[in-house]
Structure 1
């Protein structure tokens, strides 16, 4: 760890097991002498590795030219002295300047390559960040909020706290929390620029100006440790191929004694009557489809295990059944229709499913809609709510 005389601290670290050298924070030395210990650490790392040395700059907020040229000189000298060694500089689209700044090194030295970490973070990202899916998300929140507004206080929500809503999507949950519970501060972060633009419009429409909407990668957030009393992350662990990585980040930014709150689904438990068999078959296939794209929409009941493995205590888990009886049944039907368009359309096609499969797949969604709108029908969508306290 080094701070020098910079405006904010930075750190450098080397992990021999993963052969990764990491730079984080703000690195703005007035002279190379101020970062001599970090340069020495990098040279020591180069001496210890074989094959590939990963240079992780995903959390490098700022770097001035003095620091940049000092580190780059070490990379270039090592390439000439060690033709057996490759450097992979891992950047993030969230900190776009790092990709631009380091990318020209590959033209100078082919042993140096750039890897944008979150460009392939999870294979289903394009589906869940599709702007065409945005309108229905507001309807989903309206349906689930009827339940969550009574659940949230049991999981640590209260007035006057500092809250982060990670993977905030279109931002309507943060708006509803602000109006209902009046936290002192809300930071809402998402990786979809289209969703964030919509979120800001929603907040403006409600006359709310004090939610800090920010663009960021939930698995590598540029947020400081231990600063929020309550951290929410709804319907998101299930669409990351490494939910444990995301949960570790939620843990990191939560204050000791604060709580992390998540919601996730178990899609195979979606149900409806009449036409239950067709509905059940389709939602079993939904789980398999998401698994193909390395997402787990069966994660809900697994929440307790994930929280325990992440080091939380006082873990609370409960389930709710959102149904066609929660308000207007047409809202429920609209949500299912949107699922059909994305799951049986774009996703199934991309997986390479046959027209015959897709036709049967669609039928289950259509039967779920039928059940939702039937005067004697019932349609359900189960959601698991979980929270845990970060130890003091």
Structure 2
């Protein structure tokens, strides 16, 4: 159902026993939302076990609506004390959790689940603030390749662009300066990364980038509004990449393109000490898999885009190497990988000291290869894009 000039929508998903509310609910009188309240009441009464009220995309609700909704929830809680009602909120909508938690405090069988408090399994590793300088170095290394690749995938000046999972915003700032978009929205779920991105943009006087806090799998962005949507090195760290692809598809205009990059970590290579390096990066792929992340995703990009409904798919790969600029940059990146992968992730998985010692040695050998005057070190990346059909 939709109401009040489509300001909000409400429907029930029987598969998940979930009532989904979205938009802005701001009635003048309770009677204005009588149909909504009846829908909520009916599905709460008809279903047992756990029933979810999903308000992740409910951006506004006035006191009239909240009080009326609260009364329905309270009545249904007391009518069936053994049935659980879970309100699913998001930290992206700041007021939502606090309001519903206050309500839950008075009803034993009503609880609040903050959907993105643990947004994806590897969040604490990849959003560590100490990783920020290395992310900048990584982007500097990949940009040498991507600035040539992006036009082949349809990026040109004057487009409306969204950079989803923008991280520290360095890629967005490079795109802004190089391609002069008509609009550029850069969205991420890490508050610290966005704060850093805004500081850098201010430092370089880049006033046209709209840095936005948001959940990439449930974006508060309108349908079909961007000509070109980018999502780099991000699908591979989410346990449900298909959810992100659905959202990237949704916000892209028909005829527009979505551009993604992903890695295949087991193909990182180096000489000398190739066997030690090969073993370590094969173990990196297994380590990420343990935390429900897939750093082998690169070659799968074509099928991922096709399954999400895109056509006219383009796919190419490139190798970032120690020959791309200063070899010390690559060495710094590898050392940062070692600190996070061997120093945090392997420890958390419970790996033995002997395994971690051997694991670290492969990174050290990769650094040696990167800095050796006759050495070679490589990091492979796949770039792919698909068109949203007209």
Residue 45 of structure 2 contacts residue 76 of structure 2 at CA under 8 Å; is this kept in 1? no
> Deviation digits for residues 116-164 of structure 1, max 9, x if unmatched?
1011231210110000000011110000000000100111211111100
Superposed displacement of residue 205, structure 1: 2.3
When the two structures are aligned, how many residues end up with a matched partner?
390
- Secondary structure in 2 aligned to 1:198? helix
Paired residues for 1:23-42 under 5 Å = 23-42=21-40
Query: Hey, what's the Cα distance between the residues in 2 that align with 1:146 and 1:324?
Result: 13
Query: Hey, what's the Cα distance between the residues in 2 that align with 1:229 and 1:34?
Result: 37
Residue 16 of structure 1 contacts residue 49 of structure 1 at CA under 8 Å; is this kept in 2? no
Moved more, 366-375 or 195-204: 195-204
- Secondary structure in 1 aligned to 2:373? coil
Normalised by the length of structure 2, the TM-score is 0.98
Corresponding residue number in structure 2 for 1:115: 113
Corresponding residue number in structure 2 for 1:220: 218
Q: Which runs of no fewer than 5 residues in structure 1 stay unpaired?
A: none
- Secondary structure in 2 aligned to 1:17? coil
Superposed displacement of residue 44, structure 1: 2.3
Residue 159 of structure 1 contacts residue 182 of structure 1 at CA under 8 Å; is this kept in 2? yes
Corresponding residue number in structure 2 for 1:207: 205
- Secondary structure in 2 aligned to 1:279? helix
Out of 242, 251, 261, the residue aligned to residue 249 of structure 2 is 251
Out of 302, 305, 311, the residue aligned to residue 303 of structure 2 is 305
- Secondary structure in 2 aligned to 1:259? strand
Superposed displacement of residue 106, structure 1: 2.2
Superposed displacement of residue 226, structure 1: 0.8
Query: Hey, what's the Cα distance between the residues in 2 that align with 1:34 and 1:159?
Result: 46
Query: Hey, what's the Cα distance between the residues in 2 that align with 1:145 and 1:69?
Result: 51
Query: Hey, what's the Cα distance between the residues in 1 that align with 2:368 and 2:343?
Result: 19
Moved over 6 A (4+): none
Corresponding residue number in structure 2 for 1:354: 352
Query: Hey, what's the Cα distance between the residues in 2 that align with 1:79 and 1:136?
Result: 50
- Secondary structure in 2 aligned to 1:105? helix
Q: Which runs of no fewer than 5 residues in structure 2 stay unpaired?
A: none
Within the alignment, does 1:43 sit opposite 2:47 as a pair?
A: no
Corresponding residue number in structure 1 for 2:86: 88
Superposed displacement of residue 48, structure 1: 3.0
Corresponding residue number in structure 1 for 2:63: 65
> Deviation digits for residues 291-313 of structure 1, max 9, x if unmatched?
11111111111111111111111
Alpha carbon RMSD of aligned pairs, Å? 1.1
Corresponding residue number in structure 2 for 1:317: 315
Residue 230 of structure 1 contacts residue 259 of structure 1 at CA under 8 Å; is this kept in 2? yes
Query: Hey, what's the Cα distance between the residues in 1 that align with 2:205 and 2:105?
Result: 50
Out of 267, 270, 285, the residue aligned to residue 269 of structure 1 is 267
Moved more, 120-129 or 258-267: 120-129
